[in-house]
Amino acid sequence: MRQRWQEAGRLYLSRWGWQVRHRWERTPIGLRFAFTLTLILVALLTPWTALNLLYLDAALGTQARLNQMRRAQVAQLIIERELMNLLRHGEDYSVWNDAREAVLQRDLKWLHTNTIEWLTHHFYYDIVTVLQADGTPLVSTEPESEWLTRFPLVQDALRGKGDAGLIRHNGTVYLMSATPIYDEEWEHPHVGVLILARALNRAQLDRISEQLGNRVALTLYTDTNLLAPSSEGVDKDAIILRDSTKKPIAALKIESPLSETLLVSEVRYTAQRYVIGISVGIAFLASLALVWFLRAYIARFLTAIQRLASGDWDARVPYAARDEFGFLARTFNAMARQLQQAFEEQVRQHEEIQAQNEELQALYQQLQAAHQNLARLNQELTEANQLLAQAAVTDGLTGLKNHRAFQESLASLVQMAERHRQPLSLIMLDIDYFKEFNDCFGHPAGDELLKQVAEVLRQSARAYDVAARYGGEEFALLLPNTTLEQAVQVAERLRRQISAIQNPHAPVSASLGVASYRFGTAPAALLYEADAALYRAKRNGRNQVCVYQPEAA
């Protein structure tokens, strides 16, 4: 009985397997391909998806760490740049004869007006202090400024070495510079120290944040042990701020912006599309795996194609099933009947296309040559335009700005002075007895003298000053943000430097006229006043500096 049941089971399985196989063979090839492909995709996509998600999390974590490191480096560079700007500003005001004399004479009123109030109101410094050479405060914005002298930065400045750095006092971090007070020629010992400090407050951090493109928060730690590199008291993404002795005084924490969080979400969404792309690739691999299944059917088409290619126009594809392959077989058989007629027509069209391609290739080469010529001409035109633009604003002999460029700069700086209510001064300079020099020693010697005077102007002018050749032997120097007294000092220095020119033919001197812009007047008025002062210097005996005086005009 048991054997009979086993026999019946085997027979049933055999019949069931035969029926399944028969129905599978009668199923259209498209359905069989789709079913098999679906099974392969389900088996392959699951591990691929998990692997890609793990890779994505690791990549996002690494990118976040790199971004924080980059922001930290940029923030440190910004703070260092602010310190350098602070040091340069302090040096500009510490090298000033009037300031040195005021410290020597203990002129507290002058120092308070021209140093404390000016720097505080115009440049928004939180601390402005002037110390004597022994470290005693003369004037300061701080009621009790003795605490400033305990910092090594100030001690170095008292010894004659200026520098800038970070300090902390009463829970506030300051950007501070300490510069010795010298004269303008750096010929005498320093007589004191100028201290400038700006608090690293919320407004300053907002400026750093704007440059970083992130929100920056400052965290101070009173316990120095928490600021150690191995300490867990400070966030690992924070920047340790140190004073001039490399002692940690604060930590600058950089928080990731909301845009970065949104970017991570976008990356995750992109990763999902990436997984879909991988799925397409897997589907392609699955299609290759099923090629073996289709080869038996494709072989019939390959045989017929080979016969047709060899010239056997009677080749046909036998296929009885009413599926996609059956439709393809019927289409192929119809195509074979029409192929012979189309072959000759195709040969004729191919010859015509070949001739057209040769004509197009020749035309393309001509266009390439024309394009190269056009590019060369365009480059030459660009270079010529650049030379013309430079020549339009530069004096060809001295290299200074010419008359036209000077007039444009004068109008622009007058507008700026009116807008910001800042002083603007003008120095007009004329070489004494230049015509006689030119007539006696010749034009080449005169041109060389003009170049020497222009070089003195170029070296004495600041980066934002405007030095120009006004015409002939006459020069002009525009001094933005410069008072009349400061301009007179500059003019006197220029007069001495011009008198010191080593000219092989004759001694050199110059007459200079100085005027300061009066708010509400036209630019031409400043030019007229400086010119009037210049001619008064020439009338008074030359080789001197005269200031414009309305009653003498």
Q: Which residues are catalytic?
A: 473
Our CA dihedral for 374, 379, 382, 388, rounded to 10 degrees, sits at: -110
d(CA 218, CA 75) in angstroms, rounded, equals 12
Q: What is the CA radius of gyration of the chain?
A: 44
Ramachandran area for residue 77 (φ above 0: left; ψ -120 to 50: alpha; else beta): alpha
Residue 231: how many CB atoms within 10 A of its CB?
14
Dist CA 506 CA 512 (whole Å)? 20
> Which residues are CB-contacts of 67 (< 8 A; sequence separation ≥ 6)?
256, 260
Q: 177 pairs with which residues across the strands?
A: 164, 196
Query: Is 194:136 a contact under the CB 8 Å cutoff?
Result: no
Q: Are 547 and 484 a contacting pair, CB within 8 Å?
A: yes
- Backbone phi, then psi, for 213, in 5-degree steps? 80, 25
Sequence-separated (6 or more) residues with CB below 8 Å from residue 127: 140, 141, 142, 145, 148, 174, 176, 195, 196, 197, 198
Backbone angles phi, psi at 184, to 5 degrees: -70, -25
